Structure 1
C-alpha cells in the first residue's frame, strides 16, 4: 500500500482485472488443459449470431491451446450457399480446432427437393456421433494437454453441437435424447449447444448458461439471401 489513496484504488482495480491492465498481445499457442471448463451452454432464439458466438468461443479456446471440435447438424448445404463455408476454411487453419457435418442437403420441411426422412436419418446419426464424442471425452484425461492434431475420438475440451436444438425442435431427434447426452458428459467437458427459435425448456435447469439471441431486424425479411462472409 502507498500513502496515495488514488494510487491504491487504481491498483485495487487493476488487481481485479485480467492481465492487471496490461495491453494483451498474441503469444505462441502451446497445448494446455483448461482449469475451469465443464459448463453446459445453450444458445437459442430467432436472431442471427448463435453459431457465430459458438465459433468465436471455439477460436478463443484454441488460442489458449485447448482442443475444440465442432459437429454441425442440419447445415448440409442448400442452393443459397456455396459448398465450402468460410468457417470450415478458418477452422482448418487453426491448431486444435476440427469440424464435421451431420446435415443433409436442403432444409427440413421445406419444398427444396430434400426428403424429411433423410434429414431425420442424418440428425439421428449426428446425435449418435455426438454421444460417441462425449464418451471419448469421458475416457480421456482432460486434466492434461491434448494433442492439437489428435482426432476428436482422443478427447476434446470443448464440443460444439451446432443446430442440435433445431433438430430437437423439429422432432428429428428427441429432447429426451439431448437431455441424456447433456447429463452423460464428463465434468471437465465444455458442451455448447445452439439452434432453435423455440426456448428449449427441457434444458433450462440443466444448462449453466442460457442465452436468447433475439431478432429485432434481419435482412432476410426483405429478401436478402445468405451472404458470403457473413452467413457462410
Structure 2
C-alpha cells in the first residue's frame, strides 16, 4: 500500500489492456499436440486465434494450409492472409489446390492428392527445421520458417488424411517426429481423425447445431474469407 492507502499493485503503465511492443521471445511451456476437428465452423479460426496470441507474445508462428485453395464463391485473397501478413512473427503458406476436394469444381482427385502430398513433404521440412533449431531461444519476427518456429499450424491436414489425399500413417509419423518443444496444431475433418487423436494432448470436437449454408447463404467476406 502507498502512504495514501492506494493499492500500489496498479501503478501507471500497469494496465493489462495497454498494448506493449512485440519483442521476439521464446515460450517456456510449448510442446503439445492439438487436434481440432468436427462438422462445425471454427476450427481454422481457433487455430489462427492461438497463432495470433502466440505471435503477440513474440513467439514465431507458421501456418501451412492443406486444401485451402478456395472455391468459385471465395476470392483468391482472404482476409486472414492480409491480417497474418501484418502481424509480426506470424507467417503462412498454402499447399491446397484451388477448389475443395470433391466439390465438383473441375479439379480431379489426382490434382488434389498431388498438392496435398506436396504439403505433407513441406510439413516434414518445417518440422525437421524446428528440430535442428534451438526452440528455447527467440527467433526474429522476419526469420524464415525454415530456420525454426515455436508453433506450427497444419490447417486442414485432418481432412487430407481422412479423404486419403495423404497417408494417415505418414501424418502420424510426422507428429511423432516433432521436436519436444514444438507446439503442433492440426485442424480439419468432419469425421474423427482417429489416426492422430490417440497421440494428441488436446482434442477438440467443433460441433454444428446450425449453419447458414443450410439456408442458402454462401461464404461471406469477413466471416468465411
Q: In structure 2, which of residues 165, 168, 177 is the aligned counterpart of residue 172 of structure 1?
A: 165
Output the aligned Cα RMSD. Answer: 1.3
1:192 paired residue number: 185
TM-score, normalised via structure 2 length: 0.92
TM-score, normalised via structure 1 length: 0.89
2:47 paired residue number: 54
2:4 paired residue number: none
Q: In structure 2, which of residues 175, 187, 202 is the aligned counterpart of residue 209 of structure 1?
A: 202
Distance in 1, Cα, partners of 2:109 & 2:185: 26
2:28 paired residue number: 35
C-alpha displacement of 1:105: 1.3
Consecutive unaligned residues of structure 2, counting only runs of 5 or more, are 1-8
Q: In structure 2, which of residues 51, 66, 72 is the aligned counterpart of residue 79 of structure 1?
A: 72
Q: In structure 2, which of residues 78, 84, 97 is the aligned counterpart of residue 91 of structure 1?
A: 84
Matched, 1:181 2:174: yes
The structure with the largest helix share of the pair is 1
Distance in 2, Cα, partners of 1:170 & 1:201: 13
1:225 paired residue number: 218
Distance in 1, Cα, partners of 2:184 & 2:203: 12
Consecutive unaligned residues of structure 1, counting only runs of 5 or more, are 1-13, 15-20
1:123 paired residue number: 116
2:134 paired residue number: 141
1:157 paired residue number: 150
C-alpha displacement of 1:77: 2.2
C-alpha displacement of 1:110: 2.5
1:10 paired residue number: none
Distance in 2, Cα, partners of 1:225 & 1:194: 22
Distance in 2, Cα, partners of 1:99 & 1:138: 19
